[in-house]
Structure 1
Amino acid sequence: MSEPSSDPAAVPRPAQSFAEVEDALLSRWPETRLEPSLDRIEAFLELLGDPQRSLRLVHLTGTNGKTSTARMIDALLRTLELRTGRFTSPHVETMHERISIDGEPLDDEAFVRAFNDVAAYTHLVDEDQAHPLSFFETVVGMAYAAFADAPVDVAVVEVGMGGAWDATNVADADVAVILPIAVDHARYLGGTPDVIAQEKAGIIKPGSTVVMAQQEVEAAAVLMARAAEVGATVAREGLEFGVVARTAAVGGQMMSLQGLRARYDDVFVPLYGAHQAQNAAVALAAVEAFVGGTDAQPLDAELVRAAFAEVTSPARLEVVRRSPTVLLDAAHNPHGAEAVGAALEDSFTFEPVIGVLGVMSDKDVEGLLVALEPHLAHVVCTQSSTDRAMPADALGEAAVEVFGQDRVSVVPRLIDAIDAAAALAEAGESVGSSIGSGAVLVTGSVVTAGEARTLLTRGRREPGAPREEEPS
């Protein structure tokens, strides 16, 4: 690692608290301001001694499902007694969530230490590059340095957005995981799955193994071409691995999974929906590929069951309150909303379901509303605290076009919107259902779900520091 400047005036004072670190990071380029280049992160990590080069890596991209799948992979690897680092984004409630070691987010002290270890070098990069390091690039540097320092046996890393020029892509993965590709962030990635796949295929590196979820034909062709170009081995959902069977169960679902080496039956995952079963199959194949070899044996079935039974994924159809039931989901595009809607029908019997919707102004709002409409009796339009949030009134106008005037309310303050939805859910007769059988679904963005989680699980206080929802 290179030494920072010896000039005391040029070296920033070390942060003393998590709040100071949070303030310093948020003062940088936001995650939504993108300048597609790896120059800054490469310069940054070179100053840090290229910690990413010392790591074995499972790298994940795709439109939806990355965080849940990363958490499943992490759990499986830890059950195999490997030390793990996990980088996911965006966070649901606090920045701590982004960097985990051995399955646990860094605590305040460790997060401050990780920041201070790299902070002086951020200023050297800022002075040398045409653009300063962004929030996301800085946190990626913190994560790779913390993983190398631990050290971990394997890092499980989720891209921020895309793949080829995502800041995480300065490391070469042993296993590249490609989750389903749909249209999102069209401004940056393109408007069709095949164009988006070109960017996401950038995480496939020479000699790696690609674990590919089922894709649209056009996207699959792009990914297969990239794998062939660099000599990567490909394992495809539906061919080399997949979900054999699944059934809803209390608190989640029971599955049979076909892995790369064996079939694993009676696997319980405490998460809801067919999309989470798909994520589980992908995670299982990714771990088998990572620990594989020419004479690799099947994983111990009991260890697989134990790992999946302990998986959590906050704000992914997470039940956070009863009477009425309140579920949170971070879906923020039509593909994610369709998965949530299918899971509601598959795993629950609530009637009515009242939606609380807060979205970002740069999203496909109409597509999101259309995907949710068949599953919601009524929608309460609101907004989160971020500047990127679509105003509740504007969202309400869009919702009326899809749901009709009688099925839309506008309540700008999030906690008031949740209260209004809960009242509608409890008074089920007002929308044609029996009293007490309803539920509330809070969704539309990671920020909306995260702020609702803070309000509902930590007391009725307003969420803390301003934040942005990161592209994913």
Structure 2
Amino acid sequence: MTYSAATAYLYGLQKHGIKLGLENMRALMERLGHPERRVRSLHIGGTNGKGSTAAMTAAILQAAGYRVGLYTSPHLVDFRERIRINQVMIPEQRVAELTGRLQAVLASDLVPTFFELTTAMAFLYFAEAAVDVAVLEVGLGGRFDATNVVEPLACAVTTIALDHQDYLGNTERSIGFEKAGIIKPGVPVVLGRIAGEALAVIREIARERAAPVMALERDFSLDRAGPGQFSYQGRTRAVRNLSCALAGRHQLDNAACAVALIEAAEGKGLAVSDDAVRRGLASVLWEGRLECVEQDPAVFLDGAHNPAAAQVLAAYLGDWLASRPGARLILVWGMMRDKDHRGFIEPLLPLVSEVVLTRADMARSATVQDLREAIGGRIPRCHDSPAAAEALALAKTRAARPDLICVAGSLMLVGEVKALIRGCGLSPLRG
């Protein structure tokens, strides 16, 4: 099987949609000889911040000398971004080979989704490459997510906010219940900045499962010392003078969760020095999250796609604009049709001078008219552009050198823009 044939087969599984449940994964793992049991793992869920936290955790472990598998989703440009070892993407020939082997164990009684088969591929690849530890990002929810067949050393839930309500429920408590499904009996769980009913239900489940809890601002904390600078205080370790390479005040919370997750796992065989923590956080890369890809005018790409993430994005952009008097914000905005368009744009409205409405090349994308209705005339300079390339080009014609262009609202849109900037092709399925 060739790589192109393998990815065509994998993308063809999109027709099965999203099916939450573990029956397929358990059957797959059984037929594959349980590769998920042959690798130590750390499991990270949450509404926002789980991918960044996974990337930081992997970077710290790699700096400590471990051979680290990292499984994340979605990819931005290349399918192989999802499965990496020490930041190197899985080779094309291995994707082809593993796809063939996965096909061979399927039968009429086992019809996996794209995400299930991709997750199985990651487990096989990491087990056969003998990684020291795999860092796994939850795809959707937690309780019935395909990654939730592992027994990790420790797990984390970064944040809880309304998103994917069609699958996870319409309240923060119901979403917290689903996210808490990754908590295993006796396995430590790290909690980020979570409050209210979401926190209450997570604590209930952790107590029922005798899972030790490490919560931000109760069991570990950070002392901010400037942009990207902080110190960490946990139960058993304190690390001073840390620098996080990822932009945004919210990333310091994610960094603290990554350090706490490693601290929680250290009693189970992982050993990480303070120097490795410093080097990992200072060198971490995570594309498409407040990523500056051009200057004069600055172009930022951010995959924020729900109201909570939009508030975080607005805080960062507000600080950026305040530090550059006279600079304007031009937003290139596209979203999926099942997202909260009005809730997303509200915190950004006071900052945006002009907006270019566009859509990713996906059936799920909202139309520019959907987005225009969400704005309701509150941004007078509102332009329509049918595709990412034209939208970015139009934004650049409207921007002066000191201005800021921000592409946001969808990781799918961000992926298309990254592909344009790289001048390369784009994998057709990114969800």
Same fold, judged at TM 0.5 (above): yes
Task: Kindly indicate whether the alpha-carbon contact (under 8 Å) linking 1:242 and 1:257 is maintained by their aligned counterparts in 2.
Answer: yes
- Taking the aligned partners of 1:238 and 1:219, their CA distance within structure 2 comes to 16
* From 42, 60, 76, the counterpart of 1:92: 76
Aligned to 2:240: 265
- Taking the aligned partners of 1:28 and 1:53, their CA distance within structure 2 comes to 26
* 1:179 is the counterpart of 2:158: yes
Task: Kindly indicate whether the alpha-carbon contact (under 8 Å) linking 2:329 and 2:403 is maintained by their aligned counterparts in 1.
Answer: yes
Number of equivalences: 428
* 1:339 is the counterpart of 2:332: no
Deviation digits for residues 188-232 of structure 1 (CA, Å, limit 9, x no counterpart): 101111111111111000110000002122111111111110111
Change over 3 Å in CA distance of 1:323–1:191 after alignment to 2: same
- Taking the aligned partners of 1:211 and 1:245, their CA distance within structure 2 comes to 20
- Taking the aligned partners of 1:166 and 1:293, their CA distance within structure 2 comes to 24
- Tell me the SS of whatever aligns to 1:291: helix
1:326 partner amino acid: V
Change over 3 Å in CA distance of 1:375–1:146 after alignment to 2: same
- Taking the aligned partners of 2:235 and 2:392, their CA distance within structure 1 comes to 44
Q: How far is the alpha carbon of 1:112 from its aligned partner? A: 2.1
Aligned to 1:317: 290
Change over 3 Å in CA distance of 1:395–1:44 after alignment to 2: same
Aligned to 1:414: 388
Change over 3 Å in CA distance of 1:356–1:145 after alignment to 2: same
- Tell me the SS of whatever aligns to 1:408: strand
Task: Kindly indicate whether the alpha-carbon contact (under 8 Å) linking 1:400 and 1:407 is maintained by their aligned counterparts in 2.
Answer: no
Deviation digits for residues 412-470 of structure 1 (CA, Å, limit 9, x no counterpart): 121111111122221xxxxxxxxx210100011110011111112x13x6x5343243x
Aligned to 2:255: 280
2:191 partner amino acid: M
* 1:128 is the counterpart of 2:109: yes
* Matched ranges for 1:357-436 at <5 A: 357-401=333-377, 403-404=378-379, 406-426=380-400, 436=401
* From 414, 417, 420, the counterpart of 1:452: 417
- Tell me the SS of whatever aligns to 1:140: helix
Aligned to 1:308: 281
Task: Kindly indicate whether the alpha-carbon contact (under 8 Å) linking 1:272 and 1:347 is maintained by their aligned counterparts in 2.
Answer: no
* Matched ranges for 1:198-277 at <5 A: 198-248=177-227, 253-277=228-252
- Tell me the SS of whatever aligns to 2:260: helix
- Taking the aligned partners of 1:375 and 1:262, their CA distance within structure 2 comes to 40
- Taking the aligned partners of 1:278 and 1:118, their CA distance within structure 2 comes to 38
* Matched ranges for 1:3-152 at <5 A: 15-16=1-2, 18-30=3-15, 33-121=17-105, 123-124=106-107, 127-129=108-110, 132-152=111-131
- Taking the aligned partners of 1:203 and 1:57, their CA distance within structure 2 comes to 12
Deviation digits for residues 82-116 of structure 1 (CA, Å, limit 9, x no counterpart): 22111101111111011111222112223223323
Deviation digits for residues 40-71 of structure 1 (CA, Å, limit 9, x no counterpart): 11111111001112222111110011111101
Task: Kindly indicate whether the alpha-carbon contact (under 8 Å) linking 2:77 and 2:426 is maintained by their aligned counterparts in 1.
Answer: no
2:38 partner amino acid: S
Task: Kindly indicate whether the alpha-carbon contact (under 8 Å) linking 1:388 and 1:468 is maintained by their aligned counterparts in 2.
Answer: no
Aligned to 1:12: none
Q: How far is the alpha carbon of 1:30 from its aligned partner? A: 4.8
Q: How far is the alpha carbon of 1:35 from its aligned partner? A: 2.6
- Taking the aligned partners of 1:157 and 1:60, their CA distance within structure 2 comes to 6
- Tell me the SS of whatever aligns to 1:168: coil
- Taking the aligned partners of 2:410 and 2:203, their CA distance within structure 1 comes to 31
1:415 partner amino acid: A
- Taking the aligned partners of 1:58 and 1:30, their CA distance within structure 2 comes to 30
Q: How far is the alpha carbon of 1:245 from its aligned partner? A: 1.2
Task: Kindly indicate whether the alpha-carbon contact (under 8 Å) linking 1:30 and 1:468 is maintained by their aligned counterparts in 2.
Answer: no
Task: Kindly indicate whether the alpha-carbon contact (under 8 Å) linking 2:419 and 2:426 is maintained by their aligned counterparts in 1.
Answer: no
- Tell me the SS of whatever aligns to 2:47: coil
- Taking the aligned partners of 2:63 and 2:140, their CA distance within structure 1 comes to 29
- Tell me the SS of whatever aligns to 1:96: helix
- Taking the aligned partners of 2:168 and 2:15, their CA distance within structure 1 comes to 18
Deviation digits for residues 392-415 of structure 1 (CA, Å, limit 9, x no counterpart): 2332232234x24x1311111211
* TM-score, normalization by structure 2: 0.95
1:261 partner amino acid: T
Q: Gapped runs of 5+ residues in structure 1?
A: 1-14, 427-435
Aligned to 1:467: 429
* From 127, 132, 152, the counterpart of 1:153: 132
Q: How far is the alpha carbon of 1:117 from its aligned partner? A: 3.0
Q: Gapped runs of 5+ residues in structure 2?
A: none
Aligned to 1:6: none
- Taking the aligned partners of 2:41 and 2:26, their CA distance within structure 1 comes to 17
Q: Which stretch shifts more, 35-44 or 342-351?
A: 342-351
Superposed CA RMSD in Å reads 1.8
- Taking the aligned partners of 1:282 and 1:378, their CA distance within structure 2 comes to 36
- Tell me the SS of whatever aligns to 1:183: coil
Task: Kindly indicate whether the alpha-carbon contact (under 8 Å) linking 1:61 and 1:159 is maintained by their aligned counterparts in 2.
Answer: yes
Task: Kindly indicate whether the alpha-carbon contact (under 8 Å) linking 2:191 and 2:257 is maintained by their aligned counterparts in 1.
Answer: yes
Work out the percentage of aligned pairs sharing the same amino acid: 35
- Taking the aligned partners of 2:129 and 2:351, their CA distance within structure 1 comes to 46
Q: How far is the alpha carbon of 1:293 from its aligned partner? A: 5.9
Change over 3 Å in CA distance of 1:30–1:223 after alignment to 2: farther
